[in-house]
Amino acid sequence: MTTEGDTSVLTALDGEYGDRKDAIEVAGRTASYEDLLGAARAVAADVAGAKAFAMTATASLETVAAAVGGLLAGVPFVPLPPDAGPAEREHILQDSGAQVVEVDFARRNSGSAAPAGTAGAGPEDPALVLYTSGTTGAPKGVVLTAGALAADLDALAEAWQWSAEDTLVHGLPLFHVHGLVLGVLGALRTGSRLVHTGRPTPEAYAAAGGSLYFGVPTVWSRIAREPAAAAALSGARLLVSGSAALPAPVFRDLERLTGLRPVERYGMTETLITVSGRAGGEVRPGTVGTPLTGIRTRIAAEPGAEIGELQLTGPTLFAGYLGRPEATAGAYTEDGWFRTGDIAAVDPADGVHRIVGRASIDMIKSGGYRIGAGEIENALLDHPKVSEAAVVGVPDADLGQRIVAFVVAEGVTGAELTDFVAANLSVHKRPREVRFVPAVPRNAMGKPQKKLLLEQYGA
Ligand code: MCA
Ligand code: AMP
């Protein structure tokens, strides 16, 4: 089996690891590398010459074929969240200029010549545009090159001793870095068999029989609450947690139930994964390990302080926010380091990093999803009955943080406002609780005093 163009991200598709009928399993459907390549080539032929293309990125073989097809064609893929409402979907399509495609996995283009007009993504070429929230405004498109993806996956393969011997299991969404880059392209680069469980339920993880498992902390805490499911993972080689902080009690429960100490890694859409624990290395709960090969980090701390903003450089960084040079420039320090906005500390003895929190109260992580408070506030203010809105993330045992909206409104229920956000923006961005207040407390500048709201809430 040979492929066209630069498929450096997709080593498995070059035939290096052989092929098998069930090389890839997604939500109960299986495919060989050859099947995948045929479907991806059909996508590549369809999108050749486009500026970018989008599809609704369900957990399916179709989404896998779209991601691979984009790389074959050298055309960036914009995965649309399947639960996105019309406002969010329209924003992503308008902002990216992507052409919407339908993918039929049964339609294969199996010739050996390159589909007409396709070039293959070179290392400098944009491969993915992933939309992610800032503290204010609508989500921005994060442009990731094929070279950055390859550099990150190789660094992770080294850190986790991840190889074609592995069976990777996860059930994460395929429109973010965790599920799509690590969870799909990672399997195609290392040659490990992939089992995507459709949903990341404890039962599905337990039944999958993998050697390597990925999850966000919410997934791990749900598994830890089901001892039988957790025990079924004891034959695995490595459990990896990321996208948000893994609570220490969950770490200890997993260790007790599986005999494995889960490895944590840290990353962002803009930087990919940059810091991680190592397979076979010492792992301490509450820490995210050391920088991956090629990554340099520093802590921008006040004199005498040990914690400060984590800043970094390396080959895995994004190529910028699509069409927003000012926002891109603002994400870097004057001397060219990327500002993560995360507050961290580094153990001087062994360089192990600990993420202490976020610099901004307006950046929320719920179930591993990054959600900007401003985006939810704007969505709520679009409702005719709402005159003021302030959104916070409060600690939540299941989700890490859950979205709570404080609103000034009359003649509407909390459930109606939740549904309004779920329907317009996306289901996973909906407030889990709406509190009606007579006024949002503000400072002299008119800025909502969110610390006060959190105190009122009792969080
Ligand atoms: C509830 N539902 C509603 C409403 N309320 N639908 C419409 N309107 C409503 N008002 C329905 C949903 O449709 C869905 O139905 C069901 O409720 C449950 O949805 P949800 O509440 O979203 O599920 P959950 O249980 O809260 O989800 C937990 C989760 C999820 C599975 C852990 O949060 C998740 O997949 N997280 C992963 C996020 C992730 O991958 N982040 C990576 C970012 P139905 O069941 O019928 O569909 S990348 C990143 O961070 C980097 C780089 C890194 O470091 O990894
Ligand atoms: P996203 O761009 O959706 O990938 O979100 C990136 C953010 O997730 C980071 O800026 C961190 O705040 C958070 N994050 C990712 N991994 C971890 C981790 N292991 N521990 C704590 N926070 C994390």
- Say which ligand is closest to the CA of 247: 2
Q: Is residue 313 part of a domain?
A: no
The per-residue pLDDT for 2 is 34
Half-sphere exposure for 148 (CA within 13 Å, toward CB): 26
Q: Give yes or no for a contact between 361 and 135, defined as CB atoms under 8 angstroms apart.
A: no
Alpha carbon of 326 to those of 143, 225, 320, 330: distances in Å? 15, 45, 10, 6
The per-residue pLDDT for 41 is 94
Q: Which atom of ligand 2 is nearest to the CA of 270?
A: 2
d(CA 381, CA 103): 36
The per-residue pLDDT for 457 is 83
Q: Is residue 160 part of a domain?
A: yes
- Mean of per-residue pLDDT scores for the chain: 95
The per-residue pLDDT for 6 is 42
Residue 253 has pLDDT above 90, yes or no: yes
Tell me which of 200, 235, 268 is where a domain ends: 268
The CATH number given to whatever domain includes residue 190 is: 3.40.50.12780
Q: Is 422 in the pocket of ligand 1 (CB under 6 A)?
A: yes
Tell me which of 252, 268, 284 is where a domain ends: 268
Residue 3 has pLDDT above 90, yes or no: no
Local confidence band at 15 (pLDDT 50, 70, 90 cut-offs):
confident
d(CA 301, CA 307): 6
The CATH number given to whatever domain includes residue 442 is: 3.30.300.30
Alpha carbon of 283 to those of 119, 221, 252, 308, 347: distances in Å? 43, 18, 12, 23, 13
Place of tokens 């590398």: 33
- Say which ligand is closest to the CA of 366: 1
For residue 379, report the distance from its CA to the centre of ligand 1, in Å: 18
Q: At a CB cut-off of 8 Å and minimum separation 6, what does 388 contact?
A: 381, 407, 408, 439, 440
Average pLDDT on 28-45 reads: 96
The number of beta carbons lying within 10 Å of the beta carbon of residue 137 is 12
Number of structural domains found in the chain: 2
Q: Is residue 314 part of a domain?
A: no
Local confidence band at 321 (pLDDT 50, 70, 90 cut-offs):
very high
The per-residue pLDDT for 4 is 38
Q: What are the backbone dihedrals phi and psi of residue 102, each rounded to the nearest 5 degrees, phi first?
A: -105, 135
The per-residue pLDDT for 73 is 93
Q: Is residue 401 part of a domain?
A: yes
Q: Is residue 308 part of a domain?
A: no
Q: Which atom of ligand 1 is nearest to the CA of 367?
A: 33
Furthest-apart CA pair in the chain: how many Å? 67
Q: Ligand 1: which residue has its CA nearest to atom 27?
A: 367
The per-residue pLDDT for 197 is 98
d(CA 312, CA 320): 15
Residues 362-396 as b or e (16 or more Cβ within 10 Å = b) = bbbbbbbbbbbbbbbbbbbeebeebebbbbbbbeb
Q: Is residue 305 part of a domain?
A: no
For residue 287, report the distance from its CA to the centre of ligand 2, in Å: 13
Residue 7 has pLDDT above 60, yes or no: no
pLDDT in tens, 101-154: 999 999 998 766 566 666 688 899 999 999 999 888 899 999 999 999 999 999
Residue 260 has pLDDT above 80, yes or no: yes
Half-sphere exposure for 150 (CA within 13 Å, toward CB): 18
Tell me which of 216, 245, 268 is where a domain ends: 268
pLDDT in tens, 383-395: 999 999 999 999 9
The per-residue pLDDT for 72 is 93
Question: Residues 261, 378: one domain?
Answer: no
The per-residue pLDDT for 116 is 64
**Domain range enclosing 382:** 363-457
Pocket test for ligand 2, best of 265, 288, 370 (most atoms within 8 A of CB): 370
Q: In this structure, what is the dihedral angle of CA atoms 245, 248, 249, 251, given to the nearest 10 degrees?
A: 80
Q: Ligand 2: which residue has its CA nearest to atom 3?
A: 370
| Residues paired with residue 24 on neighbouring β-strands, in sequence order | 31, 194
Place of tokens 């283009």: 109
End-to-end CA distance of the chain: 57
- Say which ligand is closest to the CA of 264: 2
Question: Residues 205, 63: one domain?
Answer: yes
Amino acid at 308: G
Question: Residues 263, 399: one domain?
Answer: no
The share of the chain scoring above pLDDT 70, in percent, equals 96
The per-residue pLDDT for 458 is 80
The per-residue pLDDT for 39 is 96
Q: Is residue 46 part of a domain?
A: yes
Residue with more model confidence, 191 or 3: 191
The share of the chain scoring above pLDDT 90, in percent, equals 90
Q: Ligand 1: which residue has its CA nearest to atom 6?
A: 427
Ligand 2 pocket: which residues have CB below 6 Å?
132, 177, 242-245, 264-269, 288, 340, 342, 355, 358, 365, 370
The number of beta carbons lying within 10 Å of the beta carbon of residue 343 is 18
Pocket test for ligand 2, best of 129, 266, 275 (most atoms within 8 A of CB): 266
Q: Is residue 294 part of a domain?
A: no
Q: Ligand 1: which residue has its CA nearest to atom 25?
A: 367
The per-residue pLDDT for 14 is 85
The per-residue pLDDT for 456 is 85
Question: Residues 239, 380: one domain?
Answer: no
Q: Ligand 1: which residue has its CA nearest to atom 11?
A: 427
The per-residue pLDDT for 5 is 36
The per-residue pLDDT for 9 is 84
